[in-house]
Amino acid sequence: MKKASYLFILCLLLLSCSKSSLKYLQKGQYDNAIDKSVKELLKDPQNSEELSVLSQSYKIANQRDNQKIEQLRLSGQPDIWDGIFNTYSLLQKRQEKVARLNQNILNYIGYQYVNYNNEIAEAKKKAAEYFYVHAKKLLESKDRFNARIAYDELQKIKSIFPNYKDTDELIKTAYNIGNNYVLFKIVNNSQSILPTSFEYELAKTSISELNQKWIIFHTKAVDNFYYDYYIRLNIRMIDISPESLNQNNYTDTKRVSDGWQYLLDANGNVKKDSLGNDIKIPKTKIISCKVTEIQQYKACAIAGTIDFINNETNQTIKSEPIRAEWFFKNFYATTMGDLSALSQESTQKLQSTFKPFPTNGDMIMQTGNIMKGMAKDIIKRNANLLK
């Protein structure tokens, strides 16, 4: 019962939060008002309030769009045709939406079918022609930002004329010119020797996953290729601690059963129970086990900066610190005494054994793996510097 009441209240709240067609009309959101009214009138063709909203919204929206088309034509500008094409398409879509209603409603709102096919075809053709000529002109400049505008305009052609002239080839050209190419490289200024595989492994940071529109990352330099930016991982410090073994000694004890003995009275005689039987009591003893807990420990830290460098000016535009750490830890224990005295915690420590310490090279590689993810995060966070 409570659940049903809750659902009922929730439905009321959702209904109250949804905008009515009249609200859309009052705010000048005519197509939203039309969508809402059409939906309601398909359910109830006699809804007078929705009829009134639809009539007003449909009339005003069409007047507004026809005026927009007329103003664009009168402007005489060469770039008007995309706007005209989109507006005619909106007019056609709107009338198709309303045409689903019954004839009485259509008569009421003064609906008259208009064939926009010729106007749409003309606008589409001229829009494609304009974008094509303009994009080619932009590409002639070889300017990166002009190429990006050309790329977007060529994509618009693809959306209305998929096979228009050599648009596909021009899109590739615009893409290549418009991209910034960034090389990620590592510089070791730490005075420590890096393993030969360190740079190779770090270069497998999957920086390419950060590729986005207009930014392409490389981790290996291509011969005779110009890079717009460099991202330099400048390693300034590599610190590896000595291998250490720390001992902690303690003793576990436990009271356990140790048979039985007779209960004696004050005179040393065995006590009897009410039936005359000798009284026996349990005996206990304390057992112990010495535990030597040994902790193996070794640490590595690599620190430096991620530098973003503009290749054209050879200036560092930003530098962020980076520091990664990795720790080798191992705990194990040895014992002397009665193992039955060990606590559960001590017993678990016996499951581990001594492990060989990682080499310094292994420590550096493990720390480098952590640095990979950190480097990616820093680059991703600063991607806007590279556009």
3-state secondary structure of 291: strand
- Do the beta carbons of residue 180 and residue 213 sit within 8 Å? no
| CA 315 from centre of chain | 31
What distance separates the 2 farthest-apart alpha carbons in the chain? Answer: 130
Tokens for 181, please give them: 């190419």
Model confidence over 340-351: pLDDT tens digits? 999 998 988 888
pLDDT given for residue 223 in this prediction? 92
pLDDT band at 18 (very low <50, low <70, confident <90, very high): low
Does pLDDT of 201 surpass 70?
Answer: yes
Residues 296-333 pLDDT 10s: 999 999 999 999 999 999 999 999 999 999 999 998 99
CB 216 within 8 A of CB 179: yes
Query: φ, ψ for residue 191 (rounded to 5)?
Result: 70, 10
Distance in angstroms (rounded) separating the CA atoms of residues 319 and 385: 11
CB-count burial class (<10 Å; 0-12, 13-18, 19+) for 304: buried
Exposure string of 7-45, with b = 16+ CB inside 10 Å and e = fewer, is eeeeeeeeeeeeeebbebbeeebbbbbbbbbbebbeeee
Tell me: the pLDDT tens digits for 153-183? 999 999 999 899 999 999 999 999 999 999 9
Closest CA to 211 of 359, 379, 332, 84: 379
Is the pLDDT confidence value at 14 over 50?
A: no
Cα angle, residue 310 at apex, residues 174 and 321 outer, rounded to 5°: 125
Facing residues of 288 across strands? 253
Count other Cβ atoms within 10 Å, centred on residue 230. Answer: 18
The answer to whether 349 and 333 have CB atoms below 8 angstroms apart is yes
SS (HEC) of 292-344: EEEEEEEEEEEEEEEEEEECCCCEEEEEEEEEEEEEEEEEEEEEEECHHHCCH
Residue percentage of the chain with pLDDT more than 70? 94
Residue range 8-26: average pLDDT?
62
Residues 135, 150 contacting (CB under 8 angstroms):
yes
Residue 100 vs residues 31, 54, 58, 95, 105: alpha-carbon distances, Å:
15, 13, 14, 9, 10
179 contacts 147 by C-beta, under 8 angstroms: no
Write down the pLDDT at residue 281: 83
Tokens 């620190």 found at: 303
Residue 150 CA: distances (Å) to CA of 81, 125, 342: 16, 18, 77
